Structure 1
Amino acid sequence: MTSESREGQDGTALAKPGQVLPFRESLMAMLGIAFVVMLVALDQTVVGTALPTVVAELQGFEFYAWVATAYLLTSVITVPIFGRLGDDYGRKPFVLASIIVFIAASALCGMANSMQFLVVARALQGIGGGMLVGTAFACIPDLFPDPHVRLRWQVMMSTAFGLANAVGPSLGGVLTEWYGWRAVFYVNLPVGLLGLWFAWRYLPHLRPQARTGSTRVDWFGAFLIAAGLGTMQLSVEWLPERGLDLVTVGLLVLSIASFVSLWRWSLRCPNPILPLEMFRNPGLAPLFLLAVLSGFVMFSLLLYAPLLFQGGFGYSPKEAGLVITPMVVCITVGSIVNGRIITRIPLPNSMLYAGFALLALACLGLTQATRGMDHHLLLGIMLLGGLGLGFIMPNLTVFAQQTAGRAQLGISTAMLQSLRMVGGMIGTALVGTLVTRSYTGGVERALNSAGALDWATRMSDPQILIDRAAQGALLTQLQQAGHNGALLLEQARLSLVGAIHLGMALAAVIAIIGIWRSRRVPPVKLVRVHEPVMAAD
């Protein structure tokens, strides 16, 4: 196939310069990838809404966090494995296999009769999700070697991601309320089957032309990644509650030891899962660090802005959702605007500065947010955060793909996704610990001054400020005990607002560090590419 003409000898449309397929085939292939992205993003947003109902029915609150943790761990581990395999064997077989695994695991989640079964099914679902992330995102530069063309088509990915994040929480609530929590997992089946059909029918099997021999998977490296991230995640889960005790410190030591062993092993392994040369690459290493920093800030905003609005300001879930929606929607808007701007400016790197600056402004804005602040101003703050993420995420991906080259395209894309999740884990640990400690301290001081320390256990969980039924029961009990329950709850709200302000201040500092570290990214030139460099079946 030549890419220089619009039409062949027989009248059939041929690919435009910079893409390997004609427009219609490109559109259909991208629709398949978009459904895949929506499948993963939708699952991550709808499940959280249903979890309280799941625990109430299946019992086993001690496994609550592991429903999310099991998915995160297996997905982070499998992303680099299949990113590497996709580079060597082509991505279509792994995209198809990952959708099948994800659909099957979703059905198993819906059939779960215990929390332990659900955790195992979620771990299997994470394997499918990691395969999807590790291969689907890398399909885009395969289809569109020219970064100018690629940025325009990536708007479809951002739109799919934004729509899934925008409708996911509401959809999860509606499905749980009307059809039961199992429908939250079964909804993946029609979306997955649609994506499977599009990917099977229209996604070409593009293979590296220069590959010779076979590739051996670095399973020991994968085990070390699992050990390092698993112990890190456990410490993240327990640090806000337990502090730096023997268990959490021991887990952190094991995590560090696993990563040090992984580093040494990667130096000796002929085909490591963690290619160290990428981290020594002066063009890729700064992008990897920025992925960690952006994940830190993004997860901090997504987790603690809703808690601020509902627990601190007393908004209903619907009101809080309306305020947060501009952020998730503007991730898509920011990506579209970014695609229009970045190919027209002489220094594409400047969009990274703009993105982190907007993130810093959003976090600083939330540090000043109060219950009486005008809703339009809060909407503007969340809009800034969404635009910032829309300027950062697609550019990190395109810059890394441009720098890594064709041979490491998949693994570099996969590492960006994994490191963003690692940044989210670190952000969850640090911001969560800061918020929990500050809130608990404020509540204990208020209760101590009122002579009501016996109620510290009940009020130390911020969920009491969201659960209206539990609040009513607590107010009655405090009144019967001779305390001013309304005043104590109001003081707890103020403590929560102050605690989240501190957490957002930390996130703002991280965003400012992102601005500073963006200067280490070498100037990126989005070079036009006119010929496909992959072989298609």
Structure 2
Amino acid sequence: MAVHTAAHHSAGQVLPFRESLMAMLGICFVTMLVALDQTVVGTALPTIVAELRGFDLYAWVATSYLLTSVITVPIFGRLGDYYGRKPFVIASIVVFTVASALCGLANNMLFLVLARGLQGIGGGMLVGTAFACIADLFPDSVVRLRWQIMMSSAFGIANAVGPSLGGILTQYYGWRSVFYVNLPVGLLSVFFVWRFLPHLRHVKHEDKMRLDWQGAGLIAIALGSLQLFVEMLPKHGLSAGSCTLLAASVASGFALWKWERSCNYAILPVDMFRNKSLSALFTLSILGGFTMFSLMFYAPLLFQGGFGMSPKDAGLMITPLVVFVTIGSIVNGRIVTRVKNPNAMLFVGFALLALACLGVVIATRSMPRPLLMTFMVLGGLGLGFVMPNLTVFAQLTAGRAHLGIATALLQSLRMIGGMIGTALTGTLVSHLYASGVRLSLDRDRASHWFSDLSDPQILINHEAQTTLLSQLATAGHNGAMLLESARESLVAAIHIGLAVAAVVAVLAFWQARRVPPVRLKGAKVEPAVMAE
């Protein structure tokens, strides 16, 4: 395979304008694939759980995806640095699309969780490679931010359509259709990436690269054990099982650190964590992921289960959150290259994100919907100011040799934050809701009805509600009052869960001061090489 240095064309890009445009279209379709899945599934999830009857696995529909993603992102991010990203991007789209079809075929929650895990493997490969392709194509940071507006627009289109589409599909065609929508997007993605994305590689190798399977295995054990520990701790406390998982995570993490320090072909270059700027950015990525995923997964449950909205209306309420991620990214691209201190955008972004979470915490069913949408707008703008800057800052700091793994780690750590956030918020919501329901039933001397009301699915499934109300009336209880109490318990539980997310956003605002000043104007990395 012949290798030559890719020529740089005008305005700091590797390819001429037309070729750059077509390659970016391929990456945009890949972005739409991920964005559609996140927004459509988030809106449909309460309905899915209501039909498959498994609220105890509600958080696992999200966390199984995040767990497998978080393991595969750094692995394929590093492999992309060595072999080029194009083959892995294509493979990831195929895996993701096939897994989407399997999710649509699920007939129980366990099958759905497993299929989401497979989907997460594809998503992790995709995130670990596709997002770094932009830095390959546009080494100049200012040019890259301009072209990222195109990707942000694609992200915004998918996000604008996603929540409403998820609500409409769920309401009129059933929840399975929300997974099948990925199939045509996946086919478009494969075509454009195969046809137009160049096969760029960063490092010339005299010999075949040795794969760091030991490092990859230790990453999987460390993160997998951590996820299971986070899930088990609130439910079972410090039991023998949870302590074993924590010990396994710590031991494998320490072993990973020791191994990667002495390995000549390490999949995870530990010297990056000694870099003050990178370590600060990695910390912010974890905290941002915690807040973002908590808000995106539990706001729909609040609107549907707590406020009694239909899936379609809940989708419309979430739309401003995801649309303004894109608008925020576009506005950020225009501002950040012109201001003297680009780091200031991180402070603004985390402040807006904290305000959005606090707004949802004080939200009530009687609150005017335009005000609720304003909180969603603030959250979207905050994420739009934070996410692209964390990525570009990390790419500039890491340099070309570690560009892929730095980008992948940033995404992976965001997912770890999301994994911990959704698991802890989900467990907190589940326990607080169950406690509130038990209290209201005890007051009405109807505690034997706890099994019927302990799962919040009853607040979404109108058929089940009608049946339960009839049974409660026959038994001499005020069913409407008990359902309303359950709804209030769910609202209070989600409010407390998202209050934790707001505190984390404030902590991220405080931690942003640790990022050393970043200079964007004229910042470049050395060219990649093109494999033929």
Q: Does 1:477 align with 2:475?
A: no
Q: Does 1:429 align with 2:429?
A: no
Q: 1:328 Cα shift? A: 0.6
CA 1:68–1:518: 2 relative to 1, 3 Å: closer
Q: Does 1:79 align with 2:112?
A: no
CA 1:244–1:157: 2 relative to 1, 3 Å: farther
Determine helix, strand or coil for the equivalent of 1:370: coil
Q: 1:106 Cα shift? A: 4.4
Partner of 1:515: 509
Q: Does 1:366 align with 2:373?
A: no
Determine helix, strand or coil for the equivalent of 2:450: helix
Match of 1:487 among 478, 481, 489: 481
Determine helix, strand or coil for the equivalent of 1:17: helix
8 A Cα contact 1:29 1:202, kept in partner = yes
Q: 1:231 Cα shift? A: 2.6
Q: 1:101 Cα shift? A: 3.5
CA 1:370–1:417: 2 relative to 1, 3 Å: same
Q: 1:529 Cα shift? A: 5.1
Instruction: State the AA in 2 paired with 1:370.
Output: T
CA 1:299–1:400: 2 relative to 1, 3 Å: same
Q: Distance in 2 between matches of 1:436 and 1:458?
A: 15
Q: Distance in 1 between matches of 2:304 and 2:296?
A: 13
- Select between 84-93 and 67-76 the one with higher mean Cα deviation: 67-76
Partner of 1:35: 29
Q: How does 1:228-267 map to 2 (within 5 A)?
A: 228-239=222-233, 241-242=235-236, 244-267=238-261
Determine helix, strand or coil for the equivalent of 1:26: helix
CA 1:333–1:274: 2 relative to 1, 3 Å: same
CA 1:95–1:238: 2 relative to 1, 3 Å: same
- Select between 461-470 and 182-191 the one with higher mean Cα deviation: 182-191
CA 1:24–1:529: 2 relative to 1, 3 Å: farther
CA 1:192–1:17: 2 relative to 1, 3 Å: same
Partner of 1:418: 412
- Select between 182-191 and 458-467 the one with higher mean Cα deviation: 182-191
Q: 1:49 Cα shift? A: 6.1
Q: Distance in 1 between matches of 2:106 and 2:494?
A: 35
Determine helix, strand or coil for the equivalent of 1:406: coil
5+ residue gaps in structure 2? none
Q: 1:114 Cα shift? A: 8.1
Instruction: State the AA in 1 paired with 2:446.
Output: A
- Kindly provide the CA deviation profile for residues 151-202 of structure 1, in whole angstroms up to 9, marking residues without a partner as x: 1111222222333333334434555676666654444333222222222222
Determine helix, strand or coil for the equivalent of 2:12: coil
Q: Does 1:503 align with 2:497?
A: yes
Q: Does 1:201 align with 2:186?
A: no
- Kindly provide the CA deviation profile for residues 344-381 of structure 1, in whole angstroms up to 9, marking residues without a partner as x: 10000000000000011111112211111111111111
Q: Distance in 1 between matches of 2:53 and 2:432?
A: 30
- Select between 426-435 and 301-310 the one with higher mean Cα deviation: 426-435
Determine helix, strand or coil for the equivalent of 2:312: helix
8 A Cα contact 1:296 1:507, kept in partner = yes
Q: Distance in 1 between matches of 2:174 and 2:372?
A: 33
Q: Distance in 2 between matches of 1:407 and 1:281?
A: 15
8 A Cα contact 1:3 1:531, kept in partner = no
8 A Cα contact 2:75 2:267, kept in partner = yes
Determine helix, strand or coil for the equivalent of 1:422: helix
- Select between 427-436 and 349-358 the one with higher mean Cα deviation: 427-436
Partner of 1:349: 343
CA 1:484–1:246: 2 relative to 1, 3 Å: farther
Identity %: 67
Q: How does 1:12-411 map to 2 (within 5 A)?
A: 15-47=9-41, 68-106=62-100, 122-172=116-166, 174=168, 183-208=177-202, 210-239=204-233, 241-242=235-236, 244-411=238-405
Partner of 1:8: none
- Select between 71-80 and 516-525 the one with higher mean Cα deviation: 71-80
Q: Distance in 2 between matches of 1:271 and 1:295?
A: 29
- Kindly provide the CA deviation profile for residues 468-487 of structure 1, in whole angstroms up to 9, marking residues without a partner as x: 22222222222222222222
Determine helix, strand or coil for the equivalent of 2:529: strand
- Kindly provide the CA deviation profile for residues 409-432 of structure 1, in whole angstroms up to 9, marking residues without a partner as x: 000000011111100111112222
Match of 1:467 among 435, 457, 461: 461
Q: 1:95 Cα shift? A: 1.9
Instruction: State the AA in 2 paired with 1:455.
Output: W
| Aligned-pair Cα RMSD in Å | 3.0
CA 1:431–1:530: 2 relative to 1, 3 Å: closer
Determine helix, strand or coil for the equivalent of 1:525: coil
CA 1:247–1:213: 2 relative to 1, 3 Å: same
| Larger RCO: 1 or 2 (CA < 8 Å, sep 6+) | 2
CA 1:156–1:241: 2 relative to 1, 3 Å: farther
- Kindly provide the CA deviation profile for residues 101-132 of structure 1, in whole angstroms up to 9, marking residues without a partner as x: 43444456567788777666554443332221
8 A Cα contact 1:60 1:115, kept in partner = yes
- Select between 218-227 and 89-98 the one with higher mean Cα deviation: 89-98
Tell me the TM-score normalised to structure 1 length: 0.89
CA 1:170–1:245: 2 relative to 1, 3 Å: farther
- Select between 124-133 and 316-325 the one with higher mean Cα deviation: 124-133
8 A Cα contact 2:163 2:316, kept in partner = no
5+ residue gaps in structure 1? 5-13
Tell me the TM-score normalised to structure 2 length: 0.90
Q: Distance in 2 between matches of 1:535 and 1:107?
A: 36
- Kindly provide the CA deviation profile for residues 192-240 of structure 1, in whole angstroms up to 9, marking residues without a partner as x: 2222222222212222255443322221221122222223333444455
Determine helix, strand or coil for the equivalent of 1:99: helix
